[in-house]
Amino acid sequence: MAALLVEITEQLTVTTADAPLAALRAAGILERITTRVGREAAGALAEDGVSAVTVAAGLGTTRSKALMLLLTAQNG
């Protein structure tokens, strides 16, 4: 997945130089996809009872930010 994301980044960078409107449109689509998938992933973690501490460690963030992700997914 990481390699695919790097490739997408490189393609978007090239597209930005050649066709900035197309790059902006693609970025908007990616943003919507990542928001949806992020909520689904956080929801799955919350349903599995994964703690905010574990999520924070996995993401390299604070417990409070991880808790917000989990709570938002449950309410979403």
**Which tens digits make up the pLDDT trace of 9-31?**
999 999 999 999 999 999 999 99
**What ranges do the domains of the chain cover?**
47-76
pLDDT band for position 43 (50/70/90)? very high
Rounded to two decimals, what is the model's pTM?
0.76
Burial (CB count within 10 angstroms: exposed 0-12, middle 13-18, buried 19+), residue 23: middle
Give the pLDDT confidence score for residue 37 in this predicted structure: 94
pLDDT band for position 76 (50/70/90)? low
Give the pLDDT confidence score for residue 73 in this predicted structure: 85
